[in-house]
Chains A and B, each alone.
Chain A
Amino acid sequence: MYSFSVTDFENWRTIARTLLQANVDPSNVSWQPPEQQGLFSPSALEAIIDPAKSVRSSGTHKIPRQFLQRAKQAACFSDMKDPARKWSILYSLLWRIVHYGNGTLLLTSDPEVRCLDSMCKAVSRDKHKMKAFVRFQQVANHNVAVTGQECPEDGAEYYVAWFEPSHAIVESVAPFFVKRFTGMHWSILTPGGCAHWDMEQLTVTEGVPKPDIDTDSFDIFWKAYYCNIFNPARLKEQAMRSEMPKKYWKYLPEAACIHDLTRGATAVTEQMIDAPTTNSDRAREKSRIVAQFQNTLRLKNRIDPDTDNFSDTPP
């Protein structure tokens, strides 16, 4: 029995490659989370290779790129109960691909394939939600205590966001933010790692606890927009909650408005329906300019009754 503690995808890949070359069956490997000391350190890997046992003399296997991409995605998955389970599933699938062919991944009802699928889906959803729900605040002074970053020159704008992704995705999502906010100096802080962009260089640092960031007064504009773009006559609270689960609300300044908007919606709608209507000629009667303008347009739009039909096809 071999035991390995794995830190990240590249680390797993190195170990897995060696194990495959040595033809080690997945049932003979125990995978451990990084904090536990493995029986074999990666440096001892070379020792387990027995050239005589090697499946192929070249020692390399053709692994479908699609599997490697999905494995890399799944490697971001954090499983609170069993943090190293992903590594053992990945190795087992890798082993099966090498021994039974690429078709292994097509077995959609196979438990390991299903597990890989659901890990990838969870990570991909988490990434998508992070891109959507990270909210930057402009901080007045470059707060070294908050981000551990160096000060830019005085007066430069600096944006900071706090977010808690469910999976270890900061490193893989950071390039998205770089491409989008290239001309901004920013930091995204999370408990599992932080990403910093100084308009030249992306730096990834250790995670931090939730910092105190002063609220950016600009969120009053955003809240005003949020409240006024909402149509109370179409209240569908459940549809909102399924797309924007409550666990994200703490990052969203606009979430503070949800309760009042929802509670007042029915009354506002009834009020609109019951209110007296306005005569459509009101403005025409009051303003000569409006009446003139509209008369000209209406004259221009008058259509010969013979051609007035439903044929709105292009001329």
Chain B
Amino acid sequence: MTVVLALLIIAVVGFVVVFPLRKTRPSPKVAKTGPDDELVSRKETTFTALKELDFDYAQGNLTPEDHEELQKKYKDKALTLLKQIDQQQTRQPASRPSEEGIEAEILRLRKTARKTEPQKAGAAGTAPSSTRQPRATPSPQAKSPCPKCHSQIPVSAKYCPYCGSALKPAVCAKCSTPYTPGQRFCSQCGATLTEEKGK
């Protein structure tokens, strides 16, 4: 009886442990470290500090002067971090193709395929199934539309080569809060916004 129970326990444990190892589908990968983690963490830390600052001020733990000075310091820091995160995000499309880039790449691959098909047909008897296509790589010339004049421009451009507008987010001159084109007043300080050409 004990031997049967022991074997049963071993069998159940073995099955439970080995079950996930069976090969039914390609192995998914564990998520790897993202490059922005540190920046995002610092941004969150700064935002938390800003919130704490306001609560401390509301409770009377900080004088208005200290509050204003420290708030400015942390807002500047938050802005710098946001800009760094934005820069990282705008750099990412260079390594990841845009929609236009993907379409251009598909077109190129189709053309290549059409060219190689007659060759394959001529070389009948070989093993075409084992022939591997070259891996699609993003085009270095990937383009995206300019937010102002909608011309197709390189994704890495800092200024539009057609209308000259700056491709970095515009910021309020008074409080440095980013704003979108067409906005007339700052959402944070209420200051009138003036478009700075070619900034």
Q: Do A and B share a complex?
A: no
**CB within 8 Å of A: which residues of B?**
none
